[in-house]
Amino acid sequence: MPGHRRERGRPTDALPHVRRHGHVVKRSAKAGGFFSVSSICPKCHGAGQIVGTPCPACAGAGAAEKPVTIKLRVPPGTSDGDTLRLRGQGEPGTHGGPPGDLYVAVHVLPHEHFTRSNNDVIHEAEVDFVTAALGGEIEVPTLTGHATLKIPAGTQSGQILRLRGQGIKPPRGKQGDMLVKVLITVPKKLTKRQEELLRGFAETK
């Protein structure tokens, strides 16, 4: 996963005219006594130190962007819109602090054969009208290979058949199923013998 990382710069020089926390104290005399006003130093912006000789890469900011490639492990069952956290891969910490974390938003690309509904996987399978009427078996793709699906006699177009345990396996909880939506196909051309048989079937109705 390409990206940019900000690397920490060199040590900075302390400012002698500011306090430990980067504040400047101004004293003034007014009627009734002396007053002290504390404000953030405009040079160090409260850091208490500045870069004496800034490098050209970061211009004194103390960190510069550098292209990096990070390997990201996507857990099983990750959904579109999930956010994954990589500890210590974020921006460098200020004043010697630890680096932050990197949050990666996941966008799942559409699949050629499958759609997802929670932990169930949906697949549309074409079945010829003879197999749908008399029953039989077809082979369907799964997330791990292929499986044999039994087609009951009298299956209707649009009917949903279930393959249990062939869906998404989440990090926690029960694994989903594969839901196969049957799409009955009709041949565009029939032989003379096929037409005779179908006409004979129609007469029996």
Task: Tell me the pLDDT of the chain (205 aa) as tens digits.
Answer: 655 555 544 445 444 444 445 555 555 656 555 666 666 666 666 666 666 666 766 665 666 677 888 888 888 888 888 899 999 888 877 766 788 899 999 999 999 899 999 999 999 999 999 999 999 999 999 999 999 999 999 999 999 999 999 999 887 888 999 999 999 998 888 899 988 888 888 888 7
pLDDT for position 198: 87
pLDDT for position 33: 57
pTM exceeds 0.95: no
* Domains of the chain in sequence order: 2-105 (no CATH), 115-204 (2.60.260.20)
Residue 155 has which token pair?
């299956």
Residue 14 and residue 20: Cα distance in Å, rounded? 9
Query: How many secondary structure helices (H) and strands (E) does the chain include?
Result: 2, 14
pLDDT tens profile 62-83? 666 778 888 888 888 888 888 9
pLDDT for position 60: 58
Look-up of token digits 């956290």: 85
Residue 13 and residue 123: Cα distance in Å, rounded? 65
23 burial level (CB within 10 Å; 0-12, 13-18, 19+):
middle
pLDDT for position 43: 66
pLDDT for position 28: 60
